[in-house]
Structure 1
Amino acid sequence: MHARLLLLVICLIASRAFSFTNFDQCFDDIKKDNSTMSGWRDNHGHAVTDINKLTAISYKLCVDRCGTGIEAFKWTVFSQQFSNWVLPWLALLSQIPFGARNRYDNIKGAILTLGSPALATYSLTLTVLNGYWIAERYQSVKHRHKRHAVRVLSGLQQVALRISTNANLLSSLVRLPENDKFWQTLDEKLDAEASTWNVPAAASIIWVLVAYAFTIIASFEDIEGGFNSWGQAVGSAWCWLVAVVTGWLLISPKCNQKRVESAIVHANEHAFVHDESGVVRPLAPHEDHAFDVTASDDSLFTDEKASQPVYNYARFLPWTEAVEQVREELNRAVHDNSPPASAPAFDSVAFPVHNQAWPLSGTWRNRVGSEARLLLSPFPSRKKWGPAIWKRLGVATLAAVCLQWATTGAAIIVHYFTPAMGWGCRSLSYLIYGGLSTVVLGLLMLSSLLAHSASPYPAADPLGRPHSTTQQVCAVFAVGLRRVGHFLAAVNAFGFIVGCIFHFTNVYDTCYCNSTVPGLGAARAFFVFHLTHQDISGMTVAYAVGVSLSVVSAVVFIGFVSMFTDPPAPD
């Protein structure tokens, strides 16, 4: 009884909110009434008096005789079109790697991805460029663990990686022979956690592509029938998802937060340190370790701690800094075997446990160096903004903007060149979607730059709080921009799904939307009822251009990602 009453109330509200119009019947009535001749138009908006040339009516006449209501909802049309054009993409969205600790965080990641494909593409591009860059960056390193270091650091892009401010921990990690097991174990554990190709993921991609191909072919076979309800634009606007999902599967990110942290904990069981007493001993679980993946609880690091790959934009700069710290220490272990000038004058004090030759070169006097070198030398001064960051940031931004606007632009082309041609409700909805997606990318990129500027790391503050006034101001703006960006992404994702539903439920089938009033203006706007052969030819070309643009852009992006995937390991 309560359910029926609720349904009745919903129907009453819907009937009040929307009045329905049968536009075909309205057009037939207009043709029979010569008093409406002043509103007769052809498909170019020109006034006509010959009923045989009457294919459209002015916006004013449409409102006067047909009203402001929408075309009546037809379940058969909606179910078929929505199932063909939208549901496969929603299924493919679930194949994006997530890996957060709970479902709520995974849903947030999915919403952020859908709300800003540009951000998802940006994070994906940064990830693959980072993997290529670190392999090139470590080529000149002579340390025998550099391959492990490259694989480990590349795999830790999905966590908030920090290098301990205790210089002795990292120094011991790269010098002590006992830590060989640490590098090997962490490399093997992380490699086992990669999100690789699997049958469900491949089947989802194939299903989407086959469904997309079938529906595209069917739409070209019958352009004239329901030309305002076909979903070529919807399919084109979703094409970025194939590129992003395929890209992540090619990269195989280690994004399962629990498993990555477990791998680090397991590797730390094999970590040794040379302490102040001159003894090489294993590190206890409760002690600090060289690799820390537990960022501060400060809201400044919220996105950096999220393990989903879409948040890699927030980890780009701290990760680059950590990579440089490890590289510097590897090089120091190789090239600087003598103690610093500030160290005491016991130049070649060997460790009481190990004093063996370095296996790579006969010029090495001691594998681990002097005790003074290990215990008393602080980290060298580091550049907060690592090398080649602006190049990678620029390339990633360009790739994100190109893929976003190639797919969104394809959807806009489809509707812009559908009579009456111009900026209408449908084309503007995609323009808003692409625009908000790009704005979200800009806001979160700026937020990540400010967050890195505000971060006191590597200052010795276990809470990770900003110190100076400038850092505090940067932190406030970083958090504010991030929250605005997340809010806009949520609104954009919701609006995109609602827009797809509106497209197939005739909500856009009104005098206002079908007359392209936003672009043409009320005085020049007109409602097209029947297409001519010339219209069909033009629409076929526009549809082909739109579909080709979206598909080719996705294929090109996948090729770009695959070109930088699995770079040659350092010699």
Structure 2
Amino acid sequence: MRSTSKVKLLLFLSFFFVSVSTSQTFTQCLDTFRANGNATGGTDFFGNPVNDSRDAVGLTYEQCKVSCGTSQEPFSWSVFSQQFSAWLLPWLALVSQLPFGAESRIDNLISVVLTVGSPTLAAFSLAITALNTRWANDRFSSIKYPNHEYAAKVLIYLQQVPLRLTTRHGLLASLIILPENDDWWESVVDRLQQTYTWTIAAATSVAWVMIAFIFTIVDSVMNLGSNVNSNGQGVGILWLWLVPMVVGWLWVPVCSFEKLRAAIDKANEIAFVAAPEEPAQGNHAPEICPPRRANEVSHMHGIRMYKKKKVFTQDAARTAPVFNYARIWEWHSAVETVAQAFENADRMANRHTPVDFRSEWIFTEEKRVTHHRNNRIGSLEQVQAYCGFPVRGHEEPTQPMPSGVWKRIFVASLFALGLQWSTTASAAITVIFTPTTGLGCRSGTYILYGAVSTTIWLTLLLSSYLAHCAKVQHDHGDPSRSRLNSANLAEGLATFLRRLATFAAFCNTICIIGACVFQFSDTFSNCYCNSSVLGRGAQHAFNVIAPGYNYNATRAAWIGGIILASGYGILFLFALHLILELSNDVIKD
């Protein structure tokens, strides 16, 4: 049975090879057409019919099918290998320089699929991460309470993980107030300080890709008429979004999941929590007991990484940076909760009110120390009140949603759409102005890739918002017991949209890589694609075959497409760098 299958496979491959190798080129079928002086259907370079077939330099779409057939031109390994290695292979190699660092290999694979399948989503996650970094630093810039600068840095790093806060039992308030927890903040920052930044390998990869791209561009422009239908000029421009992605993530604070988890877990081992106030005995005032280790009080922690993966929040639990889009609302709520607690504590300290309000405020003699540690000692109830948290109660209060979230989402969307369509439109333009001019298979594939990428981004953004709404209602209890309540409906729709978009990203990744390979292998070199039937219609489509075409307009379109795509990429990086530089100027150690 196995031998029979092998024989059938060999026969099929042999038949395919023979059929492709024996296919005639368009040049050959045009020569045959010219030899027949009475033949009709010949055109000039602009698609106008010619009276004498011997003057024809192209064929109408219908005549092309009759004279040349409907199959592709013969496959040329030398052309394929040269175009593939020059235009596509460097970009595929550069994908490895994107930050991954997820908990599992499956999550890393999904992050690659989402990045390549939807550059819009990848650019949005990068832009929103930079904008969030700027906002978090701005949010803590006016606070002077101890550890406020560490708090901003810790929260910025934790954009990569599903972040959870626990305000009950004085856990979060103790981290903010108690001097014993100064080591907690320093420990987390010290462990996360060495982020994924510029390395020799990353810099070399980007540099070699750009050098190879420039040399290939120059060579293609100098030899414009050579293999024009299989030329990868549009492919190279289409993938230019990778350079801003790789460079941008090297500027933004990014850590692997293992490093983030180790930093938080190790710090939580040394966390302290305030003790409840001892009841008053006789004429004595209530006694303030020394703080205890947080691990001895509760299995929960004031700041922790949420590890349980619910179906509708799976993307939020994945820690590769491309999934930062799924943590926007929860992260903003967590930052606002911590910032408000620091603000309340700072306001009380500015009034010279110690945590234990029965004590006197102690002024420090050292200039570098703004708050004496004795002013920060108190009971569980007192630290809760000092931060503005409920003194009693076993339920978590609703975390506030700061203003400006949708504004940052809008700005990040402009960044992402600009990067996606500056490269996609530029790639399409270069092919549209390549003879035969007009919308064809190659340019149509590029536009379809950009449209699907944009749709994936919109779908996943909507899915993440629905998942957030469902989680908020689940955490605080949906009053309706019906299975068709709003929380369950939002959860089900979020799960469906997320899975649909992920599948679409997988298909878009396979299709765009396949389309590039097809272009280099002359799969698109057939009468339908070369005649630009999509844009011109079957009645007006024609296939330019003979040499001698004036490529001035094509050359201008190619150069313009390169300038548009690379120019926006530079603008994208400049704006990103400016945002991060201004962010670094807000809070300094």
- Normalised by the size of structure 1, how large is the TM-score? 0.91
Q: Which residue of 2 aligns with 1:34?
A: 37
Residue 470 of structure 1 and its aligned partner are, at CA, apart by 1.6
Paired AA for residue 570 in structure 1: I
Q: Which residue of 2 aligns with 1:269?
A: 269
Give the Cα separation in 1 of the matches to 2:251 and 2:105: 24
Q: 1:452 to 1:551 in 2, by over 3 A?
A: same
Residue 53 of structure 1 and its aligned partner are, at CA, apart by 4.2
Q: Which residue of 1 aligns with 2:292?
A: 281
Q: Which residue of 1 aligns with 2:186?
A: 184
Work out whether residues 235 and 516 of structure 2, in 8 Å CA contact, stay in contact via their aligned partners in 1: yes
- 1:513-524 superposed matches below 5 A: 513-524=529-540
Moved more, 288-297 or 511-520: 288-297
Q: Which residue of 2 aligns with 1:425?
A: 441
Give the Cα separation in 2 of the matches to 1:384 and 1:13: 68
1:439 has 2:455 as partner: yes
Which of 368, 391, 395 is the equivalent residue of 2:407? 391
Work out whether residues 466 and 475 of structure 1, in 8 Å CA contact, stay in contact via their aligned partners in 2: no
RMSD over aligned Cα, in angstroms? 2.9
Q: Which residue of 1 aligns with 2:573?
A: 558
Give the Cα separation in 1 of the matches to 2:185 and 2:509: 41
Give the Cα separation in 2 of the matches to 1:422 and 1:154: 47
Residue 17 of structure 1 and its aligned partner are, at CA, apart by 9.4
Paired AA for residue 294 in structure 1: Y
Q: Deviations over 1:487-538 (max 9, x none)?
A: 111110000000010010010000011011111111111010135453x111
1:545 has 2:557 as partner: no
1:229 partner SS: coil
Work out whether residues 362 and 372 of structure 2, in 8 Å CA contact, stay in contact via their aligned partners in 1: no
Q: Which residue of 2 aligns with 1:202?
A: 203
Residue 336 of structure 1 and its aligned partner are, at CA, apart by 3.9
Work out whether residues 233 and 427 of structure 2, in 8 Å CA contact, stay in contact via their aligned partners in 1: yes
Q: 1:276 to 1:14 in 2, by over 3 A?
A: farther
Unaligned runs of 5+ in 1: 339-345
Work out whether residues 59 and 527 of structure 1, in 8 Å CA contact, stay in contact via their aligned partners in 2: yes
Residue 555 of structure 1 and its aligned partner are, at CA, apart by 1.2
Q: Which residue of 1 aligns with 2:83?
A: 81
Q: 1:29 to 1:362 in 2, by over 3 A?
A: closer
Residue 477 of structure 1 and its aligned partner are, at CA, apart by 1.2
Work out whether residues 37 and 54 of structure 2, in 8 Å CA contact, stay in contact via their aligned partners in 1: no
Q: 1:136 to 1:17 in 2, by over 3 A?
A: farther
- 1:357-506 superposed matches below 5 A: 366-368=375-377, 371-375=380-384, 378-379=389-390, 384-456=400-472, 459=475, 469-506=485-522
Q: Which residue of 2 aligns with 1:343?
A: none
Q: Which residue of 1 aligns with 2:232?
A: 231
Q: 1:457 to 1:265 in 2, by over 3 A?
A: farther
Q: How many residues align?
A: 555
Residue 279 of structure 1 and its aligned partner are, at CA, apart by 3.9
Residue 427 of structure 1 and its aligned partner are, at CA, apart by 0.5
Residue 375 of structure 1 and its aligned partner are, at CA, apart by 4.8
Give the Cα separation in 1 of the matches to 2:140 and 2:411: 21
1:162 partner SS: strand
Give the Cα separation in 2 of the matches to 1:305 and 1:13: 50
Unaligned runs of 5+ in 2: 278-288, 391-395
Q: Which residue of 2 aligns with 1:314?
A: 326
Paired AA for residue 538 in structure 1: A
Q: 1:320 to 1:448 in 2, by over 3 A?
A: same
Residue 126 of structure 1 and its aligned partner are, at CA, apart by 0.4
Work out whether residues 349 and 370 of structure 1, in 8 Å CA contact, stay in contact via their aligned partners in 2: no
Residue 460 of structure 1 and its aligned partner are, at CA, apart by 6.1
Q: Which residue of 1 aligns with 2:285?
A: none
Give the Cα separation in 2 of the matches to 1:215 and 1:397: 32
Paired AA for residue 265 in structure 1: D
Give the Cα separation in 2 of the matches to 1:16 and 1:182: 71
Paired AA for residue 334 in structure 1: D
Give the Cα separation in 2 of the matches to 1:466 and 1:115: 38
Residue 373 of structure 1 and its aligned partner are, at CA, apart by 2.7
1:168 has 2:170 as partner: yes
Q: 1:274 to 1:448 in 2, by over 3 A?
A: same
Work out whether residues 92 and 208 of structure 1, in 8 Å CA contact, stay in contact via their aligned partners in 2: yes
Moved more, 279-288 or 310-319: 279-288
Give the Cα separation in 1 of the matches to 2:380 and 2:509: 57
Work out whether residues 103 and 318 of structure 2, in 8 Å CA contact, stay in contact via their aligned partners in 1: no
Q: Deviations over 1:363-407 (max 9, x none)?
A: 999324565333576359656532211111001000100100000
- 1:323-334 superposed matches below 5 A: 323-334=335-346
Work out whether residues 232 and 543 of structure 1, in 8 Å CA contact, stay in contact via their aligned partners in 2: yes
Residue 233 of structure 1 and its aligned partner are, at CA, apart by 0.1
1:11 has 2:19 as partner: no
Work out whether residues 451 and 474 of structure 1, in 8 Å CA contact, stay in contact via their aligned partners in 2: yes
Q: 1:176 to 1:80 in 2, by over 3 A?
A: same
Residue 217 of structure 1 and its aligned partner are, at CA, apart by 0.8
Residue 168 of structure 1 and its aligned partner are, at CA, apart by 1.0
Q: Which residue of 2 aligns with 1:20?
A: 23
Residue 360 of structure 1 and its aligned partner are, at CA, apart by 6.2
1:292 partner SS: strand
1:249 has 2:261 as partner: no
Work out whether residues 356 and 375 of structure 2, in 8 Å CA contact, stay in contact via their aligned partners in 1: no
Give the Cα separation in 1 of the matches to 2:445 and 2:371: 68
Paired AA for residue 164 in structure 2: R
Moved more, 468-477 or 234-243: 468-477
Residue 13 of structure 1 and its aligned partner are, at CA, apart by 7.0
Give the Cα separation in 2 of the matches to 1:531 and 1:107: 45
Give the Cα separation in 2 of the matches to 1:151 and 1:13: 64
Work out whether residues 45 and 57 of structure 2, in 8 Å CA contact, stay in contact via their aligned partners in 1: yes
Give the Cα separation in 1 of the matches to 2:81 and 2:241: 24
Q: 1:163 to 1:118 in 2, by over 3 A?
A: same
Which of 62, 70, 93 is the equivalent residue of 2:64? 62
1:293 has 2:305 as partner: yes
Percent identity, please. Answer: 35
Q: Deviations over 1:60-98 (max 9, x none)?
A: 111011110111111111111100111100110000000
Give the Cα separation in 2 of the matches to 1:170 and 1:357: 26
1:570 has 2:587 as partner: yes
Residue 14 of structure 1 and its aligned partner are, at CA, apart by 3.9
Give the Cα separation in 2 of the matches to 1:533 and 1:131: 53
Q: 1:360 to 1:537 in 2, by over 3 A?
A: same
Give the Cα separation in 1 of the matches to 2:235 and 2:494: 34
Which of 348, 358, 362 is the equivalent residue of 2:357? 348
2:447 partner SS: helix
Residue 16 of structure 1 and its aligned partner are, at CA, apart by 10
Work out whether residues 456 and 467 of structure 1, in 8 Å CA contact, stay in contact via their aligned partners in 2: no
Moved more, 278-287 or 429-438: 278-287
Q: 1:328 to 1:384 in 2, by over 3 A?
A: closer
Give the Cα separation in 1 of the matches to 2:99 and 2:116: 13
Q: Which residue of 2 aligns with 1:302?
A: 314
Q: 1:177 to 1:400 in 2, by over 3 A?
A: same
Give the Cα separation in 2 of the matches to 1:274 and 1:466: 41
Work out whether residues 450 and 474 of structure 1, in 8 Å CA contact, stay in contact via their aligned partners in 2: yes
